[in-house]
Amino acid sequence: MAPWRRRYSIWDVFDEFFREIEEMFEQEFRELSQRGVRGPYVYGIRMTIGPDGIPRVEEFGNIRREGARPRIAEEREPLVDVFEEDNRFVIVVEMPGVDKDKIDVKATEEKIVVRASNGQRKYYKEIELPKPIKPETAKAQYKNGVLEIKVEKKEEKKEPEGIKIKIE
């Protein structure tokens, strides 16, 4: 192999991918500045693999895409993790920079809504849960910018197995 030829690796694909994303964001921010929209801009993605083995890409921040144009929301969408245990869910929400008394958490059987506002820092997130919960059992703690919510699952109704009938 000639010494001037470069070897390519699988990581070159990722470098190109992230370079394209960076260029896309720079273009979007230039357009926002030209329209007079000022920051702060918060946007990020998190890539995970769900319990079913399917990759998921989650967005967070205060930039929302509506049609072809981005929209800057006043409230940021925080990072959220939902852990399923035997009889409950544990929801972890990252919301740095707010006081505990400025956080509002509401729960229904299907979802939990978290809202917080502390001066410049505003957060909002609707967390859809994979199974119904008992909202009255929810307990929350906030420490060092992390809100942890624990809530029991609603018991699933089991179909009766029935009575075995002896065949004569």
- Kindly report, residue by residue over 85-141, the tens digit of the pLDDT: 989 999 999 999 899 999 999 999 999 999 999 888 889 999 999 899 999 999 999
Q: Give the length of the chain.
A: 168
pLDDT at 6 over 70: no
Among the four given CATH numbers 3.40.50.720, 3.90.1150.10, 3.40.50.2300, 2.60.40.790, the one describing domain 78-155: 2.60.40.790
* Confidence (pLDDT) at 145: 93
Given the DSSP bridges, would you call strands 111-118 and 139-143 parallel, antiparallel or unpaired?
Answer: unpaired
* Confidence (pLDDT) at 152: 95
How far apart, in whole angstroms, are the C-alpha atoms of residue 42 and residue 77? 9
- Delimiting residues of CATH 2.60.40.790 domain(s) in the chain: 78-155
